[in-house]
Amino acid sequence: MNVVATVIALGLFVFGMWVMSIAPEVAGFQAATFFSGILAVSLSLAIPFHLLGRADD
């Protein structure tokens, strides 16, 4: 479970950073694209904080 959650979190983090980096190139949807990147990075950080922290109990 820990390995799967870590891989998913890492993938979401990289995807979110990529989405934020292409936001200036998206015509008309820069803010929405950047905000979705922020959400992806936030979710990638929430996975280890909430799920993996409880796995040690």
User: For residues 10 and 48, what is the distance between their CA atoms, to the nearest angstrom?
Assistant: 10
The Cβ of residue 40 has, within 10 Å, a number of other Cβ atoms equal to: 20
User: For residues 41 and 8, what is the distance between their CA atoms, to the nearest angstrom?
Assistant: 11
Residue 39: domain span: 2-54
pTM over 0.75, yes/no: yes
Domain count of the fold of the chain: 1
Q: Which two tokens stand for residue 23?
A: 């936001």
The Cβ of residue 5 has, within 10 Å, a number of other Cβ atoms equal to: 15
- pLDDT tens for 8-56 read 999 999 999 999 999 999 989 999 999 999 999 999 999 888 876 665 5
The helix or strand, by DSSP H or E, that contains position 8, with its residue range, turns out to be helix 2-22
**End-to-end CA, the chain:** 14
